[in-house]
Amino acid sequence: MRCLVTGATGYIGGRLAPRLAEAGHVVRCLSRSAGRLRDVPWADRVEIVEGDLVDPTTLRPAFDGVEVAYFLMHSLGQRDFERRDREAAENFAAAARAAGVRRIVYLGGPEPPPGERSSPHLRSRAEVARILLDSGVPTAVLRAPVIIGSGSASFEMLRYLTERLPVMVVPRWVGNRIQPIAVRDVLRYLIDAAGLPADVHRAFDLGGPDVLTYAEMMHRYARVAGLPRRVVLPTRVLSPWLSAHWVGLVTPVPNAIARPLVASLIHEAVAHEDDIAALLPGDPPIGFREAVRLALGRIRDANVETRWSSAAGMDAAAEPLPSDPDWSGGSMYADERTRAVHAPPDRLWRVIEGVGGENGWYSFPLAWSVRGWLDRLAGGVGLRRGRRDRHRLRVGEALDWWRVEEIVPGSLLRLRAEMRVPGRAWLEMRSEPAPGGGSVYHQRAVFLPRGLAGHLYWAAVLPFHGFIFDGMARNIARGAET
């Protein structure tokens, strides 16, 4: 089928488009600026057209020949998001009807219990659902609660609050029940919804197998992430407005997004029916722990690189995309150094491959020795392991307190730290040819903190990085030149 995806630069749309293509559909993505999708890994597998849902005159080419149209646009974070989403939905519905689209699929939010005052965020989602259901085009509205996956604003709030606060004074809404669902399962339902029979025209509740309070979600996240149990102290003092500012203070999630999300948490978000399972049979949704484990996979698989895999597998959907906002994906600290080297790349590589053991680390030996003694006092391996061979390294072998994780001969050495630190650390060294001769040395130290202790650790060692890592880069370059 020919599918149109709106919101392809967003969290769900950017994950749905390549998976629709992988499923055999012809995919067209609508964006106000085609350049925003130019560099995504799947750009060559979709058609990209420019248009703006709030400007109906731009929509006809996008809907031409489309059989299934996905409405995934949401203006959350903008001051007038309710008005913009209303206009976008009305224009989308009119364009779909005029083009003879066979099905509309919309990912909305949970409905508050009857009689409760809705938050602006959920009120807008419900209004968009009504507009699309009244479009005259068969429509499937999928109502999802908290979506678990790296890059999801709701998940990022949960991640940062849990990781950064071992003791939390929290508002009473942490006792409300939520039925979270993994992003991989949301995407599966969205893809399969394209094939629903024409007489299916309604809303469906989505949810995973676990019904948890927000506090329980924080405790379970902490266990999966290897953090000590969090102390949660509910209070009635924090209003939704104050809660949003509190979230903005503790996490990098912007206040403009945190405010409507926090306001929505005053409602319970539990599925009232599971009719979608009968219409779209498949593997049942995975549980909260497995969803979190997948969302943390980019951190826990010891992969320093932050580039998203171009594979369209559902498990990869839980990991970060280059198009995700810069506040998503968890905390990562890095120290990067680059130096021009007046020596060929192969000579620079010999110095890189010779680090550690008797050869040393080319920078402030006393500081490295003291750090090794401290690590041994803490029960770590220290610097006593040395290296197996003075000149050659192999993947998997020990190198002082490091483990050789990857080698690309002549180009890349990546080491994973096995010292006692509250987080995970890597050191990456590269040798590259320089234009016009010589070479370039790239050095990158990466630290992924675990809990508040990890952030404090990085802050404590940061003052020493200037002379340790800069000296290391300078001396490796000098060693290659002599």
* Average pLDDT of the segment spanning 418-428: 87
Residues across the chain: 482
pLDDT number for residue 314:
63
CB 12 within 8 A of CB 193: no
pLDDT classification of 360: cutoffs 50, 70, 90 = confident
pLDDT number for residue 379:
67
pLDDT in tens, 149-179: 988 888 988 888 888 888 877 777 788 899 9
pLDDT in tens, 98-149: 999 999 999 998 887 666 677 777 888 999 999 999 999 999 999 998 999 9
pLDDT number for residue 245:
64
Name the burial class of residue 237, with classes exposed (0-12), middle (13-18) and buried (19+) by CB atoms within 10 angstroms of its CB: exposed
Among 314, 12, 333, smallest CA distance to 151 is for 12
CB 24 within 8 A of CB 191: no
pLDDT number for residue 221:
94
* Average pLDDT of the segment spanning 312-328: 64
The amino acid that residue 465 corresponds to is H
pLDDT in tens, 46-83: 999 999 999 999 999 999 999 999 999 887 767 788 89
Q: Which range, 145-154, 181-190, 225-234, is most confident? A: 181-190
pLDDT classification of 460: cutoffs 50, 70, 90 = confident
CB 104 within 8 A of CB 133: no
pLDDT classification of 264: cutoffs 50, 70, 90 = confident
* Average pLDDT of the segment spanning 399-407: 89
| Mean pLDDT taken over the chain | 85
* Average pLDDT of the segment spanning 348-363: 89
pLDDT classification of 265: cutoffs 50, 70, 90 = confident
Token duo for residue 333: 């600290």
Q: Domains, the chain, ranges and CATH?
A: 2-318 (3.40.50.720), 333-481 (3.30.530.20)
* Residue written as token pair 């968890």: 330
